[in-house]
Amino acid sequence: MTALNGVAHVILTAGDFARSTAFWRDLIDHLELKIVLDSEHMLYGVGGRTAIGIRTPSADNVGRRFNQGAPGLHHACFRMRDRAAVDAVHAFLISRTDIHIVHRPQEEPWAPGYYSVLFEDPDGIRIEFNHVPGIGLLVDGQEIGGANAFNDD
pLDDT tens digits for range 8-44: 999 999 999 999 999 999 999 999 999 999 999 999 9
Q: Are 8-58 and 75-140 in the same CATH fold?
A: yes
Q: Domain-by-domain residue ranges, the chain?
A: 8-58, 75-140
d(CA 124, CA 21): 13
Q: Could you say which of 3.10.180.10, 3.10.20.740, 3.40.718.10, 3.40.50.300 is the CATH number of the domain covering 8-58? A: 3.10.180.10
Beta strand spans in 1-153 (E): 10-13, 34-38, 42-47, 50-55, 76-79, 100-107, 115-120, 126-131
Q: In what order do the strands lie in the sheet with 76-79?
A: 76-79, 126-131, 115-120, 100-107
Q: What is the pTM of this model?
A: 0.86
The alpha carbon of 72 is separated from its chain's Cα centroid by a whole number of angstroms, namely 15
Q: What is the pLDDT along the chain (153 residues), one digit of tens a residue?
A: 677 778 899 999 999 999 999 999 999 999 999 999 999 999 999 998 999 999 999 999 999 999 988 888 889 999 999 999 999 999 999 999 999 999 999 998 787 788 999 999 999 999 999 998 865 444 456 565 654 455 555
- Measured distance CA(30)–CA(98) in Å, rounded: 16
Question: Rg (Cα) of the chain, in Å, rounded?
Answer: 16
The size of the chain, in residues, is: 153
Cα distances (angstroms) measured from residue 3 to each of 6, 137, 145: 10, 18, 26
CATH topology of domain 75-140: 2,3-Dihydroxybiphenyl 1,2-Dioxygenase; domain 1 (3.10.180)
